[in-house]
Amino acid sequence: MYFLARTYPLARRETLVTRPEARIRSTGGAQLTVRQPHPIEVRSYEILRSRVDLSPMPPLWRAVAERVIHATADLEYAVDLLTREEHLTRGWAALRGGAPIVTDEGMVAAGISARETVCHAADPAAARMARAAGITRSAAAVRLSYSEVGPGAVWVVGSAPEAIFEIIERRVSPALVVGMPVGFVGAREAKEALRASGLPQLSNVSEKGGSAVAAAAVNALLYYEAGRP
């Protein structure tokens, strides 16, 4: 499913970097991420909204698209992301309920600023399993992670296409899979397979993606407050 975004002529390029402050508050069993955006982030959003109109998008989809664009300064993500609002709603609700977040690599985990994550990519046990089973280390990390978290987790892939294929094969019953590996080898095919799997997912059409993009998408869901633009 696509939503059309209206773009405006680009003004001069501005480099904007921010490290937002965030903390977790538990309210009635739900985990809410409370944060005060940095003034530079506020200005970044003003600039991107002057260049691309994402108002036709449903609210969660728009929140994800804007944060990805904010993180990358790449307006093409306005039309590159593919998901369904109900998939994002499911992931958002799971995160509010404290669902674990599993990442395919440490760089994705490092980019998720408001929640601890599960990542077995660097686990020696993953290397041993990969050798014994004749699978990639990324696939082994998925198996180890699933044995730890079980169904209902939010899975985030920013680097390894093999992790997406293993998530599909393992039938991990995710709340949401954020699948945005980057590269010319296997990334597009993995994302296509994810969309065809029937799993609740957020992905993108092109070979673009990466750790920062995947982390930004998850942060958008963590930061989202219903009813706020």
Residues 6+ apart with CB under 8 A from 128: none
Q: Is residue 9 part of a domain?
A: no
The per-residue pLDDT for 47 is 85
- Rounded CA-CA distance 29/100 in Å is 15
38 labelled catalytic: no
Q: Is residue 86 part of a domain?
A: yes
- Rounded CA-CA distance 21/13 in Å is 25
Q: Which of 38, 70, 87, 120 is catalytic?
A: 70
The per-residue pLDDT for 15 is 27
Q: Is residue 3 part of a domain?
A: no
- Rounded CA-CA distance 204/187 in Å is 10
Domains: count for the chain = 1
Q: Which pLDDT tens digit goes with each residue over 66-107?
A: 999 999 999 999 999 999 999 999 999 999 999 999 999 999
Q: Is residue 105 part of a domain?
A: yes
pLDDT at 35 over 70: no
The larger pLDDT score, comparing residue 214 to residue 26, is at 214
Q: Is residue 151 part of a domain?
A: yes
The per-residue pLDDT for 20 is 37
Q: Is residue 6 part of a domain?
A: no
Q: Burial letters for 102-139: b for 16+ Cβ neighbours within 10 Å, e otherwise?
A: bbbbebbbebbbbbebbbbbeeeebeebbeeeebbbbb
The per-residue pLDDT for 2 is 46
- Which residue's structure tokens are 């994402």? 54
Q: Is residue 32 part of a domain?
A: yes
Can you give the CATH number for the domain in which 202 is found?
3.40.50.10230
Q: What global pTM score does this model have?
A: 0.83
Domain membership of residue 180 as a residue range? 20-223
pLDDT at 7 over 70: no
Structure tokens that stand for 72 in this block: 């990358």
pLDDT at 142 over 90: yes
Q: Which pLDDT tens digit goes with each residue over 59-77?
A: 999 999 999 999 999 999 9
Q: Is residue 84 part of a domain?
A: yes
